[in-house]
Amino acid sequence: MASNQKVEGLVPLQEIDLSVYHLSARIEELPVQLHDAHEKVSRAKSNLEEIKAEIMSLKLEAGKRELTVKECDERITKLQTQANQAKKNDEYQGLLKEASAVKAERSRIEEGLLDILYQVDEKGKLDSLRKEDLEEAETVLKKEESRISSETGDLEKKLEEVTAKRDALASGVDPDVKNLYERVLQAKEDGLAIATVSKYRVIEASGKYIQWQCEGCSVEVTSQDVNLLLMGKEVITCRTCSRILLVKVEEDK
């Protein structure tokens, strides 16, 4: 079998390998599509935690103030009892004055307390909204996960089929050429191990001439390599991109 025939035998293999390549790439890239949904869930979570922490610190402050109000009440009661038991008028007046100062302090603290309780209420509403946000984000994520999992399943099934076909096809290819082809394929990131060589007519000031070019890397192929390719006796790889070259003589570019 001449080498060009051997290389031509690789063409259907390359076609099917390209399908394998695209299917694998698609399977690999699918989970990346979950990134945004994951991001939204984690943002919603941290927003909710933030509001919960704010509510907690407000409640803590409210508790402190409630305690202080209670202490004020006790002091007021004590001062009033002392005043009622006072023997002298100035002592009585002094105790009442002190009691009224504590009352003023109490009402100032209570006012602040009401403000805090109002804030707790408002933040509580925000807390419910943020819970809803989180639930929504989690629902979207779950939906996306199930979509991607079913899509991945379909693609994997297809990949299995294509791989089986590929293996059947590969068994019919000349082993040496196949080994070379597989080595080149593994090294290529675009899934292409075979490149056609095209003929170009170039017109320059010095005259017209013909140039051969590897379509894999767009670099010129030497006429020596082209001659070997045209003779069809050897398998030639591109000196620049290492792809297995296949010459197309019939069409000019």
Q: What is the DSSP string of the chain?
A: --HHHHHHHHHHHHHHHHHHHHHHHHHHHGGGGGHHHHHHHHHHHHHHHHHHHHHHHHHHHHHHHHHHHHHHHHHHHHHHHHHHT-SSHHHHHHHHHHHHHHHHHHHHHHHHHHHHHHHHHHHHHHHHHHHHHHHHHHHHHHHHHHHHHHHHHHHHHHHHHHHHHHHHHHTTS-HHHHHHHHHHHHH-TTS--EEEEEEEEEEETTEEEEEEEETTT-PEEPHHHHHHHHHT-S--B-TTT-PEEEEEEEEE-
Confirm or reject binding of residue 188 to Zn ion (CB under 5 A). no
129: its two tokens? 């909204």
Q: Quick one: 152 or 196, whose CB is closer to Zn ion? A: 196
Least CB distance to Zn ion at residue 7 (A): 14
Q: Quick one: 116 or 245, whose CB is closer to Zn ion? A: 245
Number of Cβ within 10 Å of residue 63's Cβ equals 12
From the list 113, 137, 235, 241, which residue makes contact with Zn ion (rule: CB under 5 A)?
A: 241
From the list 217, 230, 232, 234, which residue makes contact with Zn ion (rule: CB under 5 A)?
A: 217
Q: Quick one: 86 or 217, whose CB is closer to Zn ion? A: 217
182: its two tokens? 């597989």
Binding span for Zn ion by CB under 5 A among 103-111, 153-161, 162-170, 230-238: 230-238
Binding span for Zn ion by CB under 5 A among 70-78, 100-108, 174-182, 233-241: 233-241
Rg (CA), the chain: 42
Q: How far apart are CA 128 and CA 241, in angstroms?
A: 60
Confirm or reject binding of residue 192 to Zn ion (CB under 5 A). no
From the list 19, 24, 211, 240, which residue makes contact with Zn ion (rule: CB under 5 A)?
A: 240
Q: Quick one: 79 or 212, whose CB is closer to Zn ion? A: 212
From the list 13, 99, 214, 244, which residue makes contact with Zn ion (rule: CB under 5 A)?
A: 214
Binding span for Zn ion by CB under 5 A among 11-19, 65-73, 102-110, 236-244: 236-244
Q: Quick one: 109 or 229, whose CB is closer to Zn ion? A: 229
Least CB distance to Zn ion at residue 245 (A): 8
Number of residues that bind Zn ion (CB under 5 A): 6
Q: How far apart are CA 33 and CA 150, in angstroms?
A: 14
Looking at residues 17 to 36 of the shown chain, list those that interact with Zn ion (rule: CB under 5 A).
Answer: none
Q: Quick one: 95 or 241, whose CB is closer to Zn ion? A: 241
Q: Quick one: 43 or 248, whose CB is closer to Zn ion? A: 248
Confirm or reject binding of residue 216 to Zn ion (CB under 5 A). yes
Residues that bind Zn ion (CB under 5 A): 214, 216-217, 238, 240-241
